[in-house]
Amino acid sequence: MTLHGASNIAAVVVEPVSGSAGVLPPPVGYLEKIRSICDKHGILLVFDEVITGFGRISGSPFATSHFNVTPNLVALAKGLTGAVVPAGAVVAQENIYDAVVGQHAGGGSIEFFHG
């Protein structure tokens, strides 16, 4: 078994525009290449849109729409409540949502209690 490699990676978390490094946009094609690598290896792509979400990037609602790259999960905060209430959210693709809050074999809804 290989210690390092795609089989040991569940997800890649990316800040589409690096806020902590000085608000740096990604090089052209960078996010698309990450999406392609994640797809090839069955790795989830997570966009941290805490800083870029809700129109904070060139008037686009989210970096995912600005760069035309679809992540599996999007982490949101700040603009979600206008910084009035400390709150965050995660937007998930339907198949991921179903895996977390889905139907089990016996029927009825189950939920992943995550706090």
Could you tell me if residue 113 is inside a domain? Answer: no
The CATH number of residue 22's host domain is 3.40.640.10
Could you tell me if residue 107 is inside a domain? Answer: no
Comparison of pLDDT for 67 and 101, the residue scoring more: 67
Q: What share of the chain is helix, strand, coil (3-state, %, to 5)?
A: 25, 20, 55
The model's pLDDT over 71-85, given as tens digits with 9 standing for 90+, comes to 999 999 888 887 788
Q: How many domains does the chain have?
A: 1
Task: Give the model's pLDDT for residue 60.
Answer: 84
Could you tell me if residue 110 is inside a domain? Answer: no
Task: Give the model's pLDDT for residue 21.
Answer: 79
Task: Give the model's pLDDT for residue 68.
Answer: 92
- Both tokens of residue 111? 């939920």
The answer to whether 101 and 92 are in contact (CB under 8 A) is: no
Task: Give the model's pLDDT for residue 6.
Answer: 85
The whole domain housing 76 covers 6-100
Could you tell me if residue 1 is inside a domain? Answer: no
The residues pairing with 46 across neighbouring beta strands, listed in sequence order, are 13, 73
The model's pLDDT over 12-71, given as tens digits with 9 standing for 90+, comes to 999 999 887 788 889 999 999 999 999 999 999 999 988 888 878 877 888 889 999 999
Could you tell me if residue 52 is inside a domain? Answer: yes
Could you tell me if residue 43 is inside a domain? Answer: yes
pLDDT above 90 (res 111): no
Task: Give the model's pLDDT for residue 107.
Answer: 56
Could you tell me if residue 114 is inside a domain? Answer: no
Could you tell me if residue 35 is inside a domain? Answer: yes
